[in-house]
Each structure stands twice: as structure tokens, then as C-alpha cells.
Structure 1
Amino acid sequence: MSKSAILLGASGAVGSEVLKLLLADTRYDTIKLFSRSKSDVSNPKLEEHVIDLFRLSDYKAVFTADEVYCCIGTTKAQTPDKDTYYKIDYGIPVVAAQLAKENGIKTYIVISAIGADAESGIFYNRTKGEMQDAVLNENLPKTHILQPSLIVAKRKDKRIMEKAAQGFMWLLNPLLFGNAAKYKSISADSIAKAMLWLANNSYQNTIVSSDKIKEISRK
């Protein structure tokens, strides 16, 4: 039986990879995008909803599917205002989880980050941690929260510091093993592959560390 999926953050590094996989996957016949602008993708499976994502709850009637993939996220450079940052990284994923619960969507896969901790003194880590806790409080039947390390991807926008970090991690990765393996950088397509696998297979852990994401992506 064909399935439907909702994708948030389709224009981002991971979201764009998830979209490619969903469109190519014969298990899915409808992919709903909720975004601020129309994509440049044309496909009969695609159903686009161009909306104000801060008002996602207004679209409950069309927020229906079998699965939700939430790849929403921003950076300090892109969103220096902390209030706006919080609305994006906490507010949108949490509202999406609430709508999933209200509309009987059983599967919710969301990207968080390594170091996420609601008790952290670091704003970014605390925001991600609070988002995780709020999503888990919805008690959806199948929830997976991915915590990738530094994400390696070809991006449209120039991120000088991120490029420098990627170069440093390329040198450091071979030295990270055992418990430190989760700190290795990871590609956007690996995260996307893991998200689809988790949605379609049984996996015990709700929180998925970066090293486990990489393992799953190879399945």
C-alpha cells in the first residue's frame, strides 16, 4: 500500500536529500511540502503548501500523512535574533509534532544535534534539548530524534566558519573511534538515508547518535 509523507525543511541540506529519496521511493505516492517558498522541483507526487511556518498550526486540516520528516533548522549566522531562532528550532518542530498527534500520524522523524541538552548553558544546545523533550512529550507511537555531528553538504549559502570546521574534521575524523566516533562529521545524504530507514523499519532507540546514523545509512 502506498504511503504519504510530510516534509519540513525541504530546501535545506538534509531536507533536499530526503526529498530526493522520497520522490524516488515507490512506497510513497504523495509528498507534502510545507515551506516558505515554492521549490524548483516538479513531480506528480509533490503537493506543495507555501505558508508562514510560524503559523503551521493554522494548516491542521491539510497536515495529514503517514509520516513526518522534520529537517527544520537555522544557524546563529542566518538568524542572529534569539527569539526568531527559538521559534524556528524549537517552535516549528514542536508544533509539527503536536499536529501529528492530533491528526493521528504515527511516525515522526526529526533532526536535532549532538550535545542537545535542555539543561545546557549554551543557547543552541538548550534549544535543541528543549525541542527534544517537547516532541517526546507528545508520545507519538514511532518517534526518532537524530543527533548528527557537523553536517557536511554542498550548500547554496557561503558558511566560511563551517567550511573551516569541515576541513578540520576531515583531518580529525580518522582519530575518532569508540565512544568518540559520534563526533565524526557526517554527510547530509547519510542522515537522509537513515531517516527513511528509521521510518520504514523497527529500531529500538528513540535518540539516534551521529555514529549510529552513519551505521543505519549503510543498511
Structure 2
Amino acid sequence: MTKVALVAGSSGLVGMQLLHQLFQNPDYDWVISFGRRDLALKHAKLVQVTVDFNRLEKVNLQESIRLQNTSGQFQPLIKSLETEEATLSAFCSLGTTIKNAGSKEKFFQVDHDFVIGFARMVLHFGAKRFFYVSALGADAGSGVFYNKVKGVVENDLKRMDFTYLGIFQPSLLLGERSENRLGEEVGKVLMKGLTFLGLFKKYKPIYGSQVARAMVVKDREPTLSGNETIPSSEMHQMSS
């Protein structure tokens, strides 16, 4: 059976680490990355599909791969998708900030609409497992807009027909980002100090690579069902 990982958010802190984890893991035969533009990255397992996240329902996966199959390198993948012999797992780390989005409305579009659109698309493709990077404190009833949106996304994903939904709730993320987030940097320094003193251990910052590893470790479990929330503290243990 061919195992395929479907990934959205590959250019981000967790997403890029996730790609590397999937490339190195022999369990995965192919990694299909969906993005607005191609990454400056090549790997024998990697297939990049350029999409408009506002129109994911228009994506024809097999045709998109066929157009890139100039030397026949993707023929085994195309065949496995056509015969429905592929096992598909989807990973989503899509997300932005209100500052980068420009408004709360744009933020909601990226962090909610694009995530739910991706989930619907991969469910249509036949994905049975969905792994989503949310945030510690996600709560649809929260008065904090960021946490509220993450909570709404979680609730909407739970209503979908995946065999398994894994919701990963990291604390402050450590690692190299393409953009500077001053507020996060200050928060990391403060939380590192507090966790060093033994306070607020559940809020201990976590590396993007640890979150990615936890997602892959979870997907390697042979039997998974239902909805599961994995907090930052558990991800620390899974990636140690």
C-alpha cells in the first residue's frame, strides 16, 4: 500500500519541519504540498501543487500531478491514486497573524476558511486522518480573538467525517521564522524564565520540529479513531 502525506502550510515554521520529517521517514512514499506558490525545495518524494485557497474545490489532484509527470517519475503515485490503493494522511499547519493578514476578517479567512477548505478537499480525495496545528488556549468561547478563531476551527473540523482528527495545541513556538514576530519573541523569553523556575510547565515553549515530529509519530500508530487533542506538554514527551 502506498502511503501519501498531503500537506498545507509547508512554508511555515512547523510545515517546513514537517516536510523534512516526512522526507526522512521511510513509511511515506510521497509528500504532496499544496501552496500558493512553489517552495524553493526539491526532493524525490515531493510533489508541489499550486492552488488558490479560495477555490480548492476546483483542484484536480491527479491532473495537477500528471502535468508535472514529464519524465514519468510520478507515474507510481498517479496509479496508486487512480486505483485508490493509496493511504492518505493530511497535515495542516496553515496560519498567519492579524498584523500580516491586515485585518481580523483576512485573518479569519486564512486561519479558518482556508483550513476548513483544505480539510474538505482532502476528505474528498480520500484522506482518513487529519492532523491540525491549533494553539494552546484555543476556545470558541474565548474573548481573545486568536484563541476564539482556533477554537471555532477545531469545532468545525470535529464535525467532519475523518476516521481520526488529531488537534495539536503547541505553546509558543521556537525556531527560525521567515518574518519577525516581536510579541512572540518577548513571550518566549518570559516563558523560558518561568518554566526554568518550575512555573507554568504546560506553557513551556516548543520547537516547530518537535510539533512536526509529534504529528508524524501519531500518524505512525496503526489504529487511530475519533477526535484527540494533544497539548504542548504531551508533544514534548512524544518528541523526546
Please name the residue that 2:166 is paired with. 144
Total equivalences in the alignment = 216
Instruction: Indicate the larger mover: 143-152 or 22-31.
Output: 22-31
Q: Which amino acid aligns with 2:216?
A: L
Cα distance, 1:139 vs. partner? 3.1
Q: Equivalent residues in 2 for 1:43-82 (5 A)?
A: 43-59=43-59, 61-62=61-62, 66-82=88-104
Q: Could you tell me which residue of structure 1 aligns to residue 68 of structure 2?
A: none
Contact 1:14 1:71 (C-alpha < 8 Å) held by counterparts = yes
- Residue 12 of structure 1 is matched in structure 2 by 12
Post-superposition CA distance 1:7-63 (Å, at most 9, x none): 101110000000001111111121111001111111121111112222222215459
Deviation of 1:181 after TM superposition, in Å, equals 2.4
Partner of 1:115: 137
Give 1:130's aligned amino acid.
V
Q: CA deviation at 1:92?
A: 1.5
Determine the structure 1 residue equivalent to 2:74.
none
Conservation of the 8 A alpha-carbon contact between 2:136 and 2:231: yes
Identity %: 29
* Partner Cα separation in structure 2 for residue 60 and residue 93 of structure 1: 18
Matched letter for residue 90 of structure 1: H
Contact 1:34 1:53 in 2 (8 A): no
Cα separation, 2, equivalents of 1:142 and 1:68:
10
The runs of 5 or more residues in structure 2 that have no matched partner are 65-80, 82-86
Q: Could you tell me which amino acid in structure 2 is paired with residue 195 of structure 1?
A: M
SS in 2 for 1:85: helix
Q: Give 1:103 deviation, angstroms.
A: 2.8
What is the root-mean-square deviation in Å for CA atoms of aligned residues?
Answer: 1.9
Matched, 1:38 2:44: no
Match of 1:160 in 2: 182
Could you tell me which amino acid in structure 2 is paired with residue 136 of structure 1?
K
Give SS of 1:116's match: coil
CA contact (8 A) 1:9 1:73 kept: yes
2:47 aligned counterpart, secondary structure: strand
Deviating above 3 A after TM superposition, structure 1's stretches of 4 or more consecutive aligned residues are 60-65, 202-205
Structure with the greater alpha carbon radius of gyration: 2
Question: What is the TM-score of this pair, normalised by structure 2?
Answer: 0.84
Paired residue type of 1:209: P
